[in-house]
Structure 1
Amino acid sequence: MFGVTIPTVELESKWIKCSEQMPEDGKYLCFKSGNIDVCTIIYGNWIINSFVDTKVTHWMPLPPPPTEYPL
Structure 2
Amino acid sequence: MNSPSCGSVTSTGRRTRSTTTRTGRLFLTAGQLSDLVITVGFYQLVSNFLNTFGVTTEGETSPY
Q: Which has the higher helix share?
A: 2
What TM-score bracket applies, with the shorter chain setting the length?
under 0.3
- Please identify the structure whose Cα radius of gyration is greater: 2
Q: Which has the higher strand share?
A: 1
TM norm structure 1 = 0.24
Tell which has more relative contact order, 1 or 2 (C-alpha 8 A, sep 6+). 1
